[in-house]
Amino acid sequence: MATVTLTLADDVAVITINNPPINATSHSVRAGLVDALDKIEKDAAIKAAILICDGKTFIAGADVSEFGQPPKNPILPDVIKRLEASTKPIIAAIHGHALGGGLEVALGCHYRIADTSAKLGLPEVNLGLIPGAGGTVRLPRLISTENAISLITGGKPVSASAANDMGLIDAIAHGELIDAAKDFAKTIIDQPCPTPLVDRAPVDTLSDDQWQETFAAVTKKARGQIAPQIAATAIRTGIEQGAEAGLLHEREKFVELRDSDQSKALRHIFFAERSVGKLPDLDGVKPNTLSEIGVIGGGIMGAGIATASLLAGFKVKIIERNEDACATGHATVEKHLTGSLKRGLISQERFDSLMASLSTSMDYADLGNADLVVEAVFEDMSVKHDVFGKLSLYCKPTAVLASNTSYLDINEIAVKCVNPARVIGLHFFSPAHIMKLLEIVRTDKADAQSLATAFAFARKLGKIAVPCGVCDGFIGNRIMSAYRKHCEYMLEDGALPHQIDDAMVAFGFPMGLFAMQDMAGLEISWATRKRLAPFRDPSERYVALGDYLCEMERFGKKNGLGWYRYDETGKAQPDADVDALVIADSAKKGITRRNFTHDEIIETILSAMRNEGDKILAEGIANSPDAIDVVMINGYGFPRHKGGPMFLTRSK
């Protein structure tokens, strides 16, 4: 039950919010704040007040259970006005997160101090919204317009030190936050209460040209999402037409956006990502303790997995085939971590200690201390069998043994283990130290403890873990194979590669399917197709265009020719030779080509995704349609603001 308590320490009152877990601005908190402010106003002994929160964080957002309910007075904008109107200065003392409505409350206070670990932000655009309680109007009256635009349209929180640099807070608290807040109060208690932000002039403004540039940049970055652009307009309105007009405009747009398809989609995926890894049958199952991770194969994936594991604080041992491969794996991890060092994400000291936690070996016996091993060797069943046979022999009996295979049957891989109950799939996405998605594959015999350990590992790595069953390609690659097939059919039926890609980009994908294939390289899937050719159903339609390209040594971006032709800068250009090849292929098959509109292309792709998604659900490979949406958005570039293929086609 939420509480707001008021205590008096000398002449400084302390308002404490206690509404676990995130001290959300629930109705009882809003009402409690107004009560506390009334008491402070009436008590002549009180000269100033501190607003602080119990638990792990300051106010970190709204109460999601009130979403979709009729608003209950006092609403947040009125509470903030009430804070602002206090004749006695109020100091927001911030720890943890001050996000969304939480930061807006802090902006209603007269001063803000934050401890060193605090994060402050207005992340509403991530849910397809704009701040709804004065954030777009008050923020540019406290910090520069440029910083306000970046904070609001980007939706990324900033650290206490960045907040201090930009003037968002008045001081950084060292030591106990409440003590620092009381010390701060002493320095301002005899000064007049500062002018509330709404009554101040904006810190600065932009010229018309600068606004145009801002809108263009925000629109480009948003890739089809409308909220950032609307947020920028709201900021401009508040600056140019005054605070009152700005507040009215902001509220109107906030309410409009709350009912928009994009916000519904973004809220859907926000909640889906948080619920998808919660499996009731693993409730209460204690995961194994993890401290050392083994990685078999230090290639593209293995090095990425090793990097992610090091960054999560594990000791890592890479097993490779020979000394050269060990050195390459080691060097690749070093390159990844050097990237983090250069970008300021880790210190030199941390870099050194991470590198010291990495070792390589050719001897499987060195895996004796590994608590979990991820295999990332060549995609070949006999190689995988060989590896799992050795793992079974050399790893301790409690170690969880995982395969990162893209397509192979992990039940079949597990047969080489004495105890297949500890074999699972951990399907990472490339680059594995950056991509957030991880499919956790439940083999037929996997026991609950191994699975619980895999989920605990994923949490430590900061991944979004999606459980799935064994099938060809699991959730994501299986859906991608299905829609790729339909894209290839469209090529033969009349579309050109760049037309399909253009339609996908216009829909919101970062790149089209064919450009993506060029980037990945065409020869790997060509090798797979050749390997699987003898098993192909001869009655099924087969499009050989990808094979023809490889036969012409067009392997993709890396050799400058693939579905596209690449100029010296690496920019893709549609290639008349490929168009001719596609058209000739239709003619050879006696297909009369027809035009495809963008809408038809997207409809075809969506229905292929939807159909395969339905099959995946019927077979129990995915637990829910949400799991499919989470995979397609986080691993395959499906536009987030469309909510995923299952959400989009269900809500139509």
Is position 299 an interface residue for ligand NAD (rule: CB under 6 A)? yes
Name every residue whose Cβ is closer than 8 Å to that of residue 401 and which is 6 or more positions away in sequence.
372, 373, 375, 388, 391, 392, 395, 417, 422, 423, 424
Is position 378 an interface residue for ligand NAD (rule: CB under 6 A)? yes
Q: 225 vs 406, which CB is nearer to ligand NAD? A: 406
Smallest Cα–Cα separation from 237: which of 247, 229, 251? 247
Is position 435 an interface residue for ligand NAD (rule: CB under 6 A)? no
DSSP structure string for 621-639: SBSSHHHHHHHHHHHS---
Residue 408 token pair:
């192979």
Distance CA 146, CA 149 (A): 5
Q: 379 vs 523, which CB is nearer to ligand NAD? A: 379
CB of 396 to ligand NAD, least distance (A): 19
Q: 43 vs 379, which CB is nearer to ligand NAD? A: 379
Is position 7 an interface residue for ligand NAD (rule: CB under 6 A)? no
Three-state secondary structure call for residue 190: coil
Q: 67 vs 378, which CB is nearer to ligand NAD? A: 378
Question: Among 325, 400, 451, 470, which residue interacts with ligand NAD (rule: CB under 6 A)?
Answer: 325
Is position 153 an interface residue for ligand NAD (rule: CB under 6 A)? no
Is position 430 an interface residue for ligand NAD (rule: CB under 6 A)? yes
Distance CA 311, CA 431 (A): 14
Which helix (H) or strand (E) segment holds residue 466: the answer is: strand 464-469
Tell me the CA distances in angstroms from 413 to 365, 404, 474, one per residue in order: 20, 11, 15
Residue 524 token pair:
């790997």
DSSP structure string for 247-305: HHHHHHHHHHHHTSHHHHHHHHHHHHHHHTT--GGGTTPPPPP--EEEEE--SHHHHHH
What is the distance of C-alpha 135 from the center of its chain?
A: 24
* DSSP one-letter code for 194: P
Give residue number: closest CB to ligand NAD.
299
Residue 112 contacts residue 89 (beta carbons within 8 Å) = no
Query: Would you state the torsion angle of the CA atoms of residues 586, 592, 597, 603, taken in this order, to the nearest 10 degrees?
Result: -80
Q: Is 104 tagged catalytic?
A: yes
Residue 322, amino acid: N
Is position 387 an interface residue for ligand NAD (rule: CB under 6 A)? yes
DSSP structure string for 58-87: S--S--GGGTTSPP-SSPHHHHHHHHHT-S
Instruction: Find the part of the chain contacting ligand NAD (CB under 6 A) among 129-137, 399-407, 454-462, 535-543.
Output: 399-407
Instruction: Find the part of the chain contacting ligand NAD (CB under 6 A) among 182-190, 252-260, 314-322, 640-648.
Output: 314-322
Residue 56 contacts residue 17 (beta carbons within 8 Å) = no
CB of 108 to ligand NAD, least distance (A): 48
Strands 48-53 and 12-18: parallel
Instruction: Find the part of the chain contacting ligand NAD (CB under 6 A) among 77-85, 201-209, 383-391, 483-491.
Output: 383-391
Q: 385 vs 615, which CB is nearer to ligand NAD? A: 385
Is position 385 an interface residue for ligand NAD (rule: CB under 6 A)? no
Three-state secondary structure call for residue 97: strand
Instruction: Find the part of the chain contacting ligand NAD (CB under 6 A) among 226-234, 398-406, 444-452, 531-539.
Output: 398-406
Distance CA 644, CA 637 (A): 10
Is position 185 an interface residue for ligand NAD (rule: CB under 6 A)? no
Instruction: Find the part of the chain contacting ligand NAD (CB under 6 A) among 251-259, 281-289, 291-299, 351-359.
Output: 291-299
Distance CA 441, CA 430 (A): 17
Question: Among 170, 320, 439, 575, which residue interacts with ligand NAD (rule: CB under 6 A)?
Answer: 320
Catalytic residue chosen out of the listed positions 66, 84, 104, 612: 104
Q: 320 vs 626, which CB is nearer to ligand NAD? A: 320
- Could you count the other beta carbons within 10 Å of the beta carbon of residue 533? 10
CB of 379 to ligand NAD, least distance (A): 4
- Could you count the other beta carbons within 10 Å of the beta carbon of residue 180? 20
What number of chain residues touch ligand NAD (CB under 6 A)? 23
**Residue 74: cis peptide before it, omega within 30 degrees of 0:** yes
Is position 532 an interface residue for ligand NAD (rule: CB under 6 A)? no
Instruction: Find the part of the chain contacting ligand NAD (CB under 6 A) among 121-129, 231-239, 300-308, 597-605.
Output: 300-308
Is position 439 an interface residue for ligand NAD (rule: CB under 6 A)? no
Q: 262 vs 406, which CB is nearer to ligand NAD? A: 406
Q: Is 412 tagged catalytic?
A: no
Instruction: Find the part of the chain contacting ligand NAD (CB under 6 A) among 142-150, 320-328, 635-643, 644-652.
Output: 320-328
CB of 303 to ligand NAD, least distance (A): 8
Question: Among 136, 307, 332, 405, which residue interacts with ligand NAD (rule: CB under 6 A)?
Answer: 405
Instruction: Find the part of the chain contacting ligand NAD (CB under 6 A) among 100-108, 337-345, 373-381, 598-606.
Output: 373-381
CB of 405 to ligand NAD, least distance (A): 4
Q: 524 vs 587, which CB is nearer to ligand NAD? A: 524
Is position 300 an interface residue for ligand NAD (rule: CB under 6 A)? yes
Q: 82 vs 390, which CB is nearer to ligand NAD? A: 390
DSSP structure string for 573-628: EE-HHHHHHHHHHHHHTTPPP----HHHHHHHHHHHHHHHHHHHHHTTSBSSHHHH
Question: Among 39, 200, 223, 321, which residue interacts with ligand NAD (rule: CB under 6 A)?
Answer: 321
Residue 232 contacts residue 153 (beta carbons within 8 Å) = yes
Question: Among 298, 476, 497, 556, which residue interacts with ligand NAD (rule: CB under 6 A)?
Answer: 298
Identify the sign of the CA torsion 64, 68, 72, 74: positive
Question: Among 24, 152, 296, 561, which residue interacts with ligand NAD (rule: CB under 6 A)?
Answer: 296
Q: 245 vs 381, which CB is nearer to ligand NAD? A: 381
Which positions are annotated as active-site residues? 104, 124
Q: Where does this chain bind ligand NAD (CB under 6 A)?
A: 296-302, 319-321, 325, 376-379, 383, 386-387, 404-406, 428, 430
